[in-house]
Amino acid sequence: MSFTLVDAVAGYARTNGIQITPDQIEATNEVLRTYGRQGDDGAISFEMDGKAMTFWEIMATQTASLPRDRKAAIKAVDLAGMTATERARAINAARAFTEAQAKAAEASRIVDRYGNPWRTGNRTHQAFLTAYAPQLADRLRQQTGGR
């Protein structure tokens, strides 16, 4: 199966105020396609050097050296010329994208700070990771032989 994440790459850059050219977007999309696999259910998972990774982790490494404009990150959604419904949809999409990114980062911080919740038995952390970082949760669960 073939997939493209050009819109997701552009959205990530726009949301984070990253100044990225169309060529860089396409190159990043190719990196994602190289390390990504699309399952029968349409879900895309990433693996780099034998390690499961999230979209956010790959994007962070791919865009680390690109210039950023903090003001552009704050107003990531260009609302000019949109109807009220289009504006609402754009704002909600930007919020959801940013919230999902924040939750995935928080999941990584939980693991860094408290360790594997399937080893520690912390069910709250297990539930958080399962909800917001399912690939990471699956990997950690498999490391401990859990289900």
Read off the pLDDT of each residue in 49-61 and give the average, rounded to a whole number.
Answer: 80
For the chain, the helix, strand and coil percentages under 3-state DSSP, each to the nearest 5: 65, 10, 30
User: What are the tens digits of pLDDT across the range 62-74?
Assistant: 777 777 665 554 4
Average pLDDT score, the chain: 79
* Cα–Cα–Cα angle for 76, 33, 103, rounded to 5 degrees: 45
Looking at 20, 41, 76, which one is the last position of a domain? 76
Residue 81 lies in a domain: no
Read off the pLDDT of each residue in 111-132 and give the average, rounded to a whole number.
Answer: 91
Residue 90 lies in a domain: yes
Residues 5 and 35 in one domain: yes
Residues 65 and 123 in one domain: no
pLDDT score of 117: 94
Q: With 0.75 as the threshold, say if the pTM is over it.
A: no
Residue 44 φ then ψ, to 5°: -110, 130
Residue 136: give the domain boundaries.
86-147
Residue 122 lies in a domain: yes
Q: Give me the helices (H) in 75-146, please.
A: 84-114, 117-120, 123-132, 134-143
Looking at 76, 103, 124, which one is the last position of a domain? 76
Looking at 43, 76, 109, which one is the last position of a domain? 76
